[in-house]
Amino acid sequence: MADEIKGFIFDLDGVITDTAEYHYKSWQKLADEEDLFFNREVNEQLRGVSRMESLEIILDGKEVPEEQKKEWTDRKNSYYQDYLEEITKDDILDDMEEKLMKLKKDGYKLAVGSSSRNAKKVLKHLQITDIFDTIADGHSVENAKPAPDLFLYAANNLGLKPEECVVLEDAESGVEAALAAKMKAVGVGPESRVGKAHLVYANVGDIDFDEILKKL
């Protein structure tokens, strides 16, 4: 039997809530203003990727001065911050809050492991900050996913070994980060994106923690 599972680390966007549309609208607004090519197909490539890396994907090799990139990512974030004000408790996906509460009641340690620098703000709007024992976000570590740093930081704060943690992720880079951290990975989404995970669920509503605890 592998190490006993003692904690769960949740990606935020796409697992607990879905702010993807807000990201899309923010990037689209910037792209329209700066005459950059952007559409939903390009947006899909930004899943789980940091803000500056996202801009690099959008630029697709186009040379832009560093100060300009900084101004653009700051402006995109400003638009995103405005959209975030619209988030409420109703934006928690499916029955995820009930699932989190049950895990907490059963004695598991819970963390958020999100590349977003806005994770704490989103959790505050969702009114579930106090469910988590620690929050690892874009401010916590230097190397973003697929590096394992964010999840290792979360596990360390939980006082757990990597092998005792399960990561729930909807992005390919996040699944890779979990595997690199030597954690058990649960993918949420299509096989084509999260198929490298130990266990895959098509959507949040399908996640079965009893099955996860039995199989991993």
Residue 214 marked ligand-binding: no
- Is 60 among the residues known to form the active site? no
Q: Is 50 annotated as a binding residue?
A: yes
Report the chain's terminal Cα–Cα distance, integer Å.
9
What is the gyration radius of the CA atoms in the chain, in angstroms?
17
Tell me if residue 13 is catalytic. Answer: yes
Residue of 3, 13, 95, 106 with catalytic role: 13
Residue 26 counted as an annotated binding residue: no
51 annotated to a ligand binding site: yes
For residues 18 and 91, the answer to whether their CB atoms sit within 8 Å is yes
76 marked ligand binding residue = yes
* Other CB atoms within 10 Å distance of the CB of residue 47: 19
* CA neighbor of 173 nearest in space, from 46, 7, 33: 46
**Exposed (0-12), middle (13-18) or buried (19+): which is 163, by Cβ within 10 Å?**
middle
118 is in an annotated binding site: yes
Q: Which uninterrupted H or E stretch holds 20?
A: helix 20-34
The one catalytic residue among 3, 11, 35, 208: 11
140 is in an annotated binding site: no
Annotated catalytic residues are 11, 13
Residues annotated in a binding site: 11-13, 27, 46-51, 54, 76, 114-118, 145, 169-170
Residues annotated in a binding site for substrate: 11-13, 27, 46-51, 54, 76, 114-118, 145
Residues annotated in a binding site for Mg(2+): 11, 13, 169-170
